[in-house]
Every structure is written in structure tokens, then in C-alpha cells.
Amino acid sequence: MAQADFDRFIENNRGEMLEFLRNLVACELPSSDAVAGQNAQDLIAEFLSDLGFSVTKDFPVDPDPEDPLHYADRWSVVGLRKGQGNGPSLALNSHADVVGLGDVSKWKYPPRACTLKDGKVYGRGVIDARGCLTTFLFALKAIIESGTKLNGDIIFQSVADEEILGKGTEALVRKGYVADAVLVGEPTKLAFCPATRGAAQFYLDVEGLATHSGVAYEGQNAILKAMRYIEALVQLQEDLDRQYMHPLWQEYPVAHTVNIALINGGESASRVPSACTVSGLVGCIAGESLEDVHRWVEDVVKKVTESDPWLQAHPPVLRWAQTMQFEPSASALGGRFFEIAEACSRDILDSYQAPRAFTAVSDLRYFLDHPGAVGANFGPGDIKQAHAYDESVEFEEIVKACKIAARFIERWTNSDR
């Protein structure tokens, strides 16, 4: 009867769930662009305390009032509820920080209002990832309110630095806040996604020769030279997909995603540009590493440079960003974790999506750094909506995610070690 009780509680508390999500979305902090306001972590800490969790704050970086990233407001919430037996433990991890609002005029619905319209909720963070936090918290509340016994420990982690540097979860794992398995809240459309992509951000500074536009043929156009590197990097993703493919990425049209994100060059339309800087992310998948990415890009740059006399004499400078460097990850597959995931999905959805990679970087990678580690990204919403204007998700999907999560938590922690 316990699982029927979970469903009944969740259905009876739809309004409370939506109101809690609204309150989270209304919080300005933690965010990539807000520096003052209410902190969503306070609401999460209070919710966990009310459920009987022991709650602590963890600062991944020592607070410094001069810190430009405001780590004084980027503290993590850790909640612990001890099991009543010797069942396997479970970490529930997600992030309260959200990306910036961007140009507010491009939002149809107020980004901090969590508007419900035609069954969808709109607002910054409704899927990435305050909706995921709401899913996990109300799943736990359904279990506890039903009086269900959990044999294994629950470690709840809400981190406030995932979108920028990922220091929140990194610090928690380093300090030993780990479990026998982990669910990381990310928008996966209710699939259990046991792998994450890796990515490395690069900068390429290309030199040209400035001349008057009337005699542009006398100069060396740095933007056009940079285009040669861009074309070669785009070709790289096709070459890499052909050379190596991991089963968890097979259903995607591209696995080794290359995103050319920033181009900066030129001074005026009447002058041949003397410099151009290109930046972007080059991806890798499970079985590869950042070392591989660096080598691939360095080889591409070398080949293009050797093909052009000007570039040979004036080679570009390749730089690697200090922050956007993420290793790929993949969970151990099969076994009890995925058997339970399938059973819970079929209970609620009458179907099961076979495990596949999560196409973005997530904090799952910190938990899967040793052989046999098991876990998955899971949550409501489509990754395409993350970071978008009018970020949205079907509220019914949040409800279904909550029912699946409650079942998974109960079955996993009450299973045999």
C-alpha cells in the first residue's frame, strides 16, 4: 500500500508543490547574474528540517566579500536522514543556482513568477533545476508522511554552484558526502540517464594584417583565416563520431558536439581585421578524456596552420579556459539500480526509456570517478528548455517525476545490499 499512499499524497498536494516551486523560482539567489535578494537555499533547508532531516550548510569556498562570484551566497544545503536498517544509501543531488535572465523583454512570461498556463509552468529554473529539487523534496515528503520505513540512509544535496564552476558538488564529494548510489536532478524527460558528456572550452587568437578596405587584397583578413579553423573544428565532430561511438550516445545525431560560441574580431568596415579570437566548446564522451580533446584540437590547429603560408609565419595562439573543463562520466550499467528504475518508470508511465547519455555536463560526474559507481541523471523537462527564454515544463511531468522518484527512493533504500 505504501506506493499507493505516495501517489495519493502527491495528488492531494499538487497545489502545495506548485506553490513551493513558485517560491523557489521567485528567489533571486543563487543566480549567475543576481547579487542580492532571497536565497532559494533557505527555503530548501527549512523544508528538509521540517521533514526531520539533520541539515548543515557547506561553503565550497571560504566566504570573501570581495569575491566576484559571491560564494558567500553559494553555500550548499546537506540534509541527512538515517535509515532504520542496513539498506543501501542514496544521495539525491541537484542545484538551486540558475543561469541569468538575459534580456527580460524576450520573456513572454515573467521569469521569476512561475506562471501556470495551459498546463505548463514558465520561469527561470522550473526545470534547471529548481523543478528537480521540488520533485525530490516532495517525493521524500510523500514517503515520510505515509509512515514508510526506509532502511538505507538518505543524503540530500542542494548545491548553489553548478552553473558556473561546479564547486558545490565537487566539495561535497571531496568531504565524503557520498552514498551507494545517486540520483542527480536534471531535465531528462523522465529518463534515467547514466552518463554525461565532457567538454573543454578553448580560445584561438588568430593574427591578420590590417590594410585599407580598398586594397583588402594587400592585407590578411584575420576573420577569414579564423574561418578555416572553425570549418576544421566543425568537421572534427563528424570525424570523431565516425571513429568512436559509445552505446549510450548512439541515438543522438551528434555525440562529439562542437559548439563555436564566440567570435570577436575587426575594428571597422573600412579596415581589414588584424585579429580575431574564436571560442567554443569541444565535447567528448565516455571512454575519452579532456586530454584527448586537447590533443584533437591541437592537431586540427596544427594542420590548418601548416596549410597556409601566412599562418605558418604567424601561427595562432591556442588557449584553454581555466573553468570550462569537464571530464565525461558513465555509470556502471545493469544490476539492481536499473532494474528498480525500470520498474518505477513502468508503474507510472507504462513504459521505460532505455538508459542513454545526458547530452549536457552535470554534477553526476563527481560521483562516478571510481569503478562500479552507480547513478543517473533524472528529472522532469527537456534539456532544450534549459537556459532558454520562457523556460517551461508540463506541470504533469513534475507530478509524474515525483511519483517515480518516491518509488525509486523507497525500493532502493529497502533493497538488499
pLDDT at 35 > cutoff 80: no
Average pLDDT of the segment spanning 314-320: 98
Query: What pLDDT does 64 receive?
Result: 78
Q: What is the rounded distance in angstroms from the CA atom of residue 145 to the CA atom of residue 147?
A: 5
Complete domains list, the chain, with CATH: 2-196+328-413 (3.40.630.10), 198-326 (3.30.70.360)
Does the pTM of the predicted model rise above 0.85? yes
Beta pairing, strands 357-358 & 195-196: parallel
Q: What is the rounded distance in angstroms from the CA atom of residue 405 to the CA atom of residue 200?
A: 32
Query: What pLDDT does 354 receive?
Result: 93
The four Cα atoms 284, 287, 291, 295 give a dihedral, to 10 degrees, of -70
* DSSP state, residue 270: T
Q: What is the rounded distance in angstroms from the CA atom of residue 86 to the CA atom of residue 74?
A: 34
**Lowest-confidence segment of 32-36, 108-112, 297-301 by average pLDDT:** 32-36
CB-CB contact of 160 with 75 (8 Å): yes
The position carrying cell 609565419 is: 313
Q: What is the rounded distance in angstroms from the CA atom of residue 145 to the CA atom of residue 67?
A: 41
**Is the four-CA dihedral 224, 225, 226, 227 of positive or negative sign?**
positive
Q: pLDDT for 247-271, tens place per residue?
A: 999 999 999 999 999 999 999 999 9
